[in-house]
Amino acid sequence: MQLRILPLFVASFIALPALAQVQPDAGVDQTITLDVGAALQGALPGRSPLAYWTADGNGTTENSIVFYDDTTGVTSSPVLRNAAGKVFGWPSDLLEINGSVYGIESLYRYLYTVDVSTGICTPVGAANTWKDVYCLAHDPATDRIFGVDLLKKQVLRFARTTGKVTAVGSATLKGYTLIRALAFRAADAQLYAVDQGTDKLLKIDPVTGKVTFVRTLPADAFARIEELTFFGDDLYATNAYQDPKGALISCQLQRISLAPNGPVENVGPVIDSVSPHALVIHSVPENFEWAQTSGPGVATFSDTKALAPTVAFSATGTYVLALTAAALSGPVVDTVTITVDPAP
């Protein structure tokens, strides 16, 4: 997959895309015989595209924001730099808050805003004294920004308008060696983090800094989680692939279950030549599934997560099957009626 530089005049890409309203179509009603079964023809008009940002590419996109969209593929912003034209340093995380994009610059220790159409970065307040802050998370209810000092094992709170930093608790992350991923979950008002050193997913109290173990993620010698964010109430991550020397060479979006043994699923294609140190999601294709809602017997699907599965029935009669899409606003359902006659 080839990267290409985003032209300066393509400002429309920067706006948050309106989420599509998916409308499941379960297909036309059918009459079939018991020995044949049914071939369903589902569709998902209005299904949302996959669209997200990461940051800090490799090669021609170094120190840039990298955009992925199903319709436009992979593009990138100009190099991030200050108003004088000096390269601002690699962006270790990004947040989109009320239409503005914020980042944290680990080398110069600034919270900053960035114009993604020009790459111009503006510091918010003075440089702070904390080191190696690689991750940010935002609580929209209280408008608080959180980060982690990787070396001092300290949870931090940033004032969005002044850049002032306040410690949360006291070195509550001792024992966790490489926390570079942080996300805020609105459902329980907690921070979530991944320790690259142990592959542990952690929950952090944003008031006290207290840490609670959530689950251990599958270990991979050639990949690691670089950043986290919640979209809806699903946790997503940039999974960074490494070469044998440990250099980050590509990434793929992942969806992580919070359940102890829940699935970790890849979403979308692998993006080459990128070190995915940030994650801002604009839209994700809605999940969908087939299910039986009524009938005199049992309907057995060849694959409940395929749009056009085949279905076998255990008895004659009338069945209603539902195709459900999991939209952010709630489940959206369409049904199809299958009449099963005796075999000839």
Let me know if residue 116 belongs to a domain.
yes
> Does residue 292 share a domain with residue 197?
no
> Which domain CATH number covers 143?
2.120.10.100
Are 41 and 71 contained in the same domain?
Answer: no
Same-domain status, 318 and 275: no
Which of 199, 186, 248, 190 minimizes the C-alpha distance to 54? 248
> In this model, does residue 138 exceed pLDDT 60?
yes
Task: Find the CATH number of the domain harbouring 322.
Answer: 2.60.40.10
Among candidate residues 216, 282, 317, 265, the one with its CA nearest the CA of residue 52 = 282
* Same domain (yes/no): 207, 100: yes
In a domain, 79, yes or no: yes
The last residue of a domain, from among 237, 261, 283: 283
| Domain membership flag for residue 11 | no
Contacts of 90 (CB under 8 A, 6+ apart): 55, 56, 62, 63, 106, 107, 275, 277
pLDDT > 60? residue 14: no
Q: What pTM was computed for the model?
A: 0.88
The answer, yes or no, to whether residue 286 has pLDDT greater than 60, is yes
Indicate whether 83 and 202 sit together in one domain.
Answer: yes
**Structure tokens that stand for 141 in this block:** 């209810």
Structural domain includes residue 120: yes
pLDDT tens for each residue of 184-230: 999 999 999 999 999 999 999 999 999 999 999 998 989 999 999 99
177 lies in the same domain as 323: no
**pLDDT tens digits along 234-250:** 999 999 999 998 899 99
- Per-residue pLDDT at 1: 36
Domain tally for the chain? 2
Query: In which domain, by residue range, is 41 found?
Result: 19-47+287-341
- Asked whether 338 and 311 are in contact (CB, 8 A), the reply is yes
Same domain, 159 and 197: yes
Domain boundary at 237, 258, 283, which?
283
Which of 265, 283, 301 is at the close of a domain? 283
Q: Is the pLDDT of residue 285 over 60?
A: yes
Segment 62-76, tens digit of pLDDT: 899 999 999 999 999
Clarify whether residues 266 and 317 are in a common domain.
no
Shared domain for 219 and 250, answered yes or no, is yes
User: Measured in whole angstroms, how far is the alpha carbon of residue 264 from the centre of its chain?
Assistant: 12
Same domain, 118 and 192: yes
Strand partners, 253: 238, 267
CA dist., res. 77 & res. 55, Å (int): 9
- Is 194 found in the same domain as 87? yes
Beta bridge partners of 66: 54, 76
